[in-house]
Amino acid sequence: MRKFGYLLYKDYLLLKRDVAGLLLMFLMPAILVVLMALLQESSYRALTEASVPLLLVNRDQGELGEAIDNRSRPRTYSRLTER
Amino acid sequence: MDNLFAIETRDLKKTYKNKSHPTLNGFSLQIAYGSLFGLLAPNGAGKTTAINIICGLRRYDSGEIFIDGHNVSDGMQHVKPLLGLIPQEIALFPSLTAYENLKIFGGLYGLGKKLLEERIDQLLELFDLSASRNSYINRFSGGMKRRVNVIAGMLHAPKILILDEPTVGVDAQSRRLILEKLTDINKAGTTILFISHYLEEAEQICNQVAFMDNGTIVCQGNPADLIAGNSECSCLESLYLLLTGKKMRDSQ
């Protein structure tokens, strides 16, 4: 256990005197997080905001046609085109 | 004392996977207690492999190794505290001070705080580095780094000290100081295995030497006796060249 303590002491001293290394150690993960968030966001947006034009011609005028019309509207992946 | 030798190797063999010829080929060595033993060999003769195997840093194919009577194949837990290895490369942290480096190495050897402080002070004083104890290693000269490197390997007062070319790349003053202190440490009872390319150093300080070539010991004995035993040779270097040849070995 004492030997482990000396190893920690050695690493502490080495890190303390390596300012560039220390900065890289803490900054690089932060930069990576920001970079990955930006990259992921654009791909996520492409997935969630994709809209497929959907033509709905409702000649039913009954309950079933109305139900289909209502159910289709809130879908984010389609853009309802009415006639 | 049952065993006569601080280090004894018997018929050690080691072949690396990517090599066709063995690096160690029947390497047998006996180093008596209290001796200052020089292991001299050309480049690529296998001396670093032999040292690494003796210190348990590398595996061997066959043979036996005894350190202070302990068979290394039974485990290194009894052997490691007895050994102090000073590698050829500077094994220090450049951005730490001499004191911090020594504190960390001493701590890893398991020394208590008070004993460690005493040993650091004592050895820094011995190697004339007390004034630089709080200076960073990256501001040290080659000779100073080498001296701190030597201190780091002997903080735990090992019974057997192994030095792999401890005077490479240092000035005459540092070299003289290192050799002088090693002789003093040896006189105080520590067995020293000294590896060097500088034959005049070995002739000057060692009471036993061995020449190694092609993975095996070709000659072993007291330097003066070895020279006296061969009428063609006037110094250790001429005997060394006679036994190991003049062919370059860098390609091995």
Please give the average pLDDT of every successive group of 10 residues along chain B, which has 252 residues. Answer: 82 90 92 94 86 91 93 88 91 95 93 93 94 94 92 94 90 90 93 89 90 89 85 80 70 46
Determine the Cα–Cα distance for residues B158 and B81; give it in Å rounded to an integer: 7
Beta-bridge mates of residue B31: B7
Q: Do B104 and A5 touch (CB under 8 A)?
A: no
Q: Are strands B62-67 and B5-14 parallel, antiparallel or unpaired?
A: antiparallel
Among A6, A17, A18, the residue with its CB nearest the CB of B108 is A6
CA-based torsion, B109, B113, B118, B123: positive or negative? positive
pLDDT greater at residue B187 or residue A21: B187
Output DSSP code: residue B16: -
Q: Does residue B43 belong to the interface with chain A, where contact is any CB pair within 8 Å?
A: no
Specify which of A18-22, A52-56, A64-68, B98-102 reaches the highest per-range mean pLDDT.
B98-102
CA-based torsion, B195, B200, B205, B211: positive or negative? positive
HSE (CB half, 13 Å, CA atoms) of B218? 18
Determine the Cα–Cα distance for residues B141 and A9; give it in Å rounded to an integer: 26
Q: Are strands B62-67 and B36-40 parallel, antiparallel or unpaired?
A: unpaired
Which run of H or E residues covers position B83?
strand B83-86
Closest C-alpha among B217, B85, B220, B71 to residue B164: B85
Whether B161 and B188 have beta carbons less than 8 Å apart is answered as no
Percent helix / strand / coil, chain B, rounded to 5? 40, 25, 40
Determine the Cα–Cα distance for residues B94 and B235; give it in Å rounded to an integer: 40
Interface mutation target, options A1, A3, A6, chain B, most CBs of B under 10 Å: A6
Q: Does residue B227 belong to the interface with chain A, where contact is any CB pair within 8 Å?
A: no
pLDDT at residue B252 in the model? 45
Mean pLDDT of A37-46: 79
Mean pLDDT of A34-49: 79
Determine the Cα–Cα distance for residues B175 and B128; give it in Å rounded to an integer: 13
Which residue stretches of chain A are H helix? Answer: 2-16, 19-48, 63-72
Is the ipTM higher than 0.85? The answer is no
Q: Are strands B216-221 and B62-67 parallel, antiparallel or unpaired?
A: unpaired
Q: Chain A closest CA to B21's CA: distance in Å?
A: 40
Determine the Cα–Cα distance for residues A50 and A79; give it in Å rounded to an integer: 9
Determine the Cα–Cα distance for residues B110 and B244; give it in Å rounded to an integer: 42
Amino acid at A27: L
Q: Which two tokens stand for residue B51?
A: 């040292």
Mean pLDDT of A40-69: 78
pLDDT greater at residue B68 or residue A74: B68
Q: Which two tokens stand for residue A26?
A: 């803490």
pLDDT at residue A80 in the model? 61
Alpha carbon separation from B216 to B22, B42, B120 (Å, rounded):
10, 12, 38
Q: Which two tokens stand for residue B187?
A: 């006189």
Q: Do B93 and A17 touch (CB under 8 A)?
A: no
pLDDT of A46 over the 70 cut: no
Determine the Cα–Cα distance for residues B97 and A13; give it in Å rounded to an integer: 10
Determine the Cα–Cα distance for residues B95 and B193; give it in Å rounded to an integer: 30
Alpha carbon separation from B74 to B62, B64, B79 (Å, rounded):
14, 11, 10
